Copies of this chain bind each other. A is one copy, B any other.
Amino acid sequence: MSIVTSLEVLDIRFPTSRDLDGSDAMNADPDYSAAYLIIGTNADDGLEGHGFVFTIGRGNEVEASAIAALRPQILGRDVGELLADMGATWKLLVHDSQLRWLGPEKGVMHMAIGAVINALWDLKAKLAGLPLWEMLAGLSPEEIVALVDFRYLTDALTPQEALEILRRAEPGRAARRARLLREGYDGYTTTPGWLGYSDEKLARLAREAVTDGFKQIKLKVGNSLSDDIRRVQVARAAVGPDISIAIDANQRWEVKEAIEWVRHLAPYDIAWIEEPTSPDDILGHAAIAKGVAPIPVATGEHVHNRVMFKQLLQAKSLEILQIDATRVGGVNENIAILLLAAKFGVRVCPHAGGVGLCEAVQHLSMFDYIAVSADKDGRTIEFVDHLHEHFISPVDVRGGCYWPPSEPGAGTEMHRQSLTTYSFPNGPAWTGAVCSDVAGPRDQLQYDNAPDERNRSHGTAVAAESVPMV
């Protein structure tokens, strides 16, 4: 028997705002950050559980403080017990009657719980010697259902219905695993479409994305309708008719404004409109979905828990559900959300980018394909080629696809050296002791590289222009 002996909390920030050359309608100057934790044990196996919450700078210390507040719940506990019943462990943290008041199940405290849960999954997968997606995809339907807290879900999804969804998918698991390893999982890129880019740069990056094998790009919209119309035209001309173009308003609009605005962009074959308004506005999204049909509405990166996703599905507020690895209560709650999406028959296209979100969320999509929805057609994971070099197991994105990771763990572990360098406010990247590799003067673009070179570049510096908000 081993016990949890430490829960280290780190405030990690990348000074990405220093050289920001693109942004979106709501996020001016993000410093991509991670409220990061490391769970240590006395097992003498050298294994740790790593997890984090992605934030964009100020307030990362608040998130770190929330993670630290969970120490008493975890320290001294039997590791085997915690990991053996992750459904019970989730409830232990989420239903703490005092901490619950700070949400409930939303915002800083809920994300902190998600990070601890994800760190435990990372440890569990390492102990099993498997990448998380593979470990999850090896669980029985009953074991998967036991991970999910059905509280507040049963009017839309019962444990029995979840079991039926999982059992239906069970016979095809091996074939889909083989297909996943053969084909990869589609990704799309947000790199060409930042608001601040010139039309020439947009066109060039869009063409490069196509050359790199991406079948979809995404443009930020919402500052100026005439600019948006022109930019969508430029992008469409650059990529041709066979590449999807999604647009993302980052919560910029009122309900009626969103409908009006998107109608003007409809002629250019829009793959989806993302975050048209407040992520809390279930009924607003439903009105928008109706008003802009047949263009699908996408949302989720700021949707704070399974109860909100349940309603977005019940109200037909979205057709594209965008899970995020660090917004909700970790792997367990994302499995609940994947099951809801399967029940309602909507596509899941995860939000990623930021710090480590690509590394983490790919496991969930791959698990979903093998064991839940049994489908990956029309599903695609966001990709931004930024900050991957800080991770022990950076994503492998080639030819427009995510390739299944093979290293044990949840993909959430950063290099110790990166954790030291970018520690805020006393790490050398912040004291000026070293020149930050994301804030340097280089002008090389990731999409100037061929795909093979891009993949190799994960161990090195990333160009400043890949910094903006996703």
Contacts and interface: CB of A to CB of B under 8 A. Distances in A.
A163 to B, nearest CB: 18
Nearest to A154: B254
Count of this chain's copies in the oligomeric assembly: 2
A248 interface: no
A283 B314 contact: yes
Given A65-B62, A69-B59, A152 B102 contact: no
A318 to B, nearest CB: 14
A443 interface: no
A402 B193 CA distance: 57
B307 A280 contact: yes
A172 interface: no
A348 interface: no
Interface footprint category on A = 35 or more
Contacts of A308: 280
Contacts of A277: 152
Contact of A307 (B31, B57, B281): B281
Contact of A63 (B97, B102, B111, B282): B102
B56 A154 contact: no
A155 B279 CA distance: 15
A28 interface: yes
A76 interface: no
A282 B279 contact: no
Given A154-B254, A155-B254, A98 B280 contact: no
B254 A151 contact: yes
Contact of A152 (B59, B103, B254): B254
A74 B304 CA distance: 28
A107 B104 CA distance: 8
A106 B304 contact: yes
Dominant SS among interface residues on chain A: loop
A91 interface: no
Contacts of A279: 104
Interface in A290-325: 302, 304-305, 307-308, 310-311, 314-315
Contacts of A254: 151-152, 154-155
A144 B255 CA distance: 24
Interface string A3-21: 0000000000000000000
A203 B377 CA distance: 63
A255 B282 CA distance: 18
Contacts of A103: 107
Nearest to A96: B58
Nearest to A283: B311
B102 A55 contact: yes
Interface in A105-119: 105-112
Contact of A69 (B30, B56, B61): B61
Contact of A287 (B66, B104, B155): B155
Interface in A41-71: 55-59, 61-63, 65-66, 69
Interface string A245-285: 00000010011100000000000000000000111111110
Contacts of A278: 104-105, 151-152, 307
Contacts of A102: 55, 59, 62-63, 107-108, 111
Contacts of A69: 58-59, 61-62
A444 interface: no
A243 interface: no
Contacts of A310: 281
Interface in A83-104: 96-104
A322 to B, nearest CB: 15
A104 B27 CA distance: 12
A456 B311 CA distance: 49
Nearest to A53: B102
Contacts of A29: 97-98
19 contacts: A29-B98, A30-B98, A30-B101, A31-B98, A56-B97, A56-B98, A57-B98, A58-B96, A59-B69, A62-B102, A65-B65, A104-B251, A107-B109, A108-B108, A154-B256, A155-B254, A283-B311, A283-B314, A283-B315
8 closest cross-chain pairs (CB), A and B: A107-B107, A108-B108, A58-B98, A155-B255, A65-B65, A57-B98, A152-B278, A280-B307
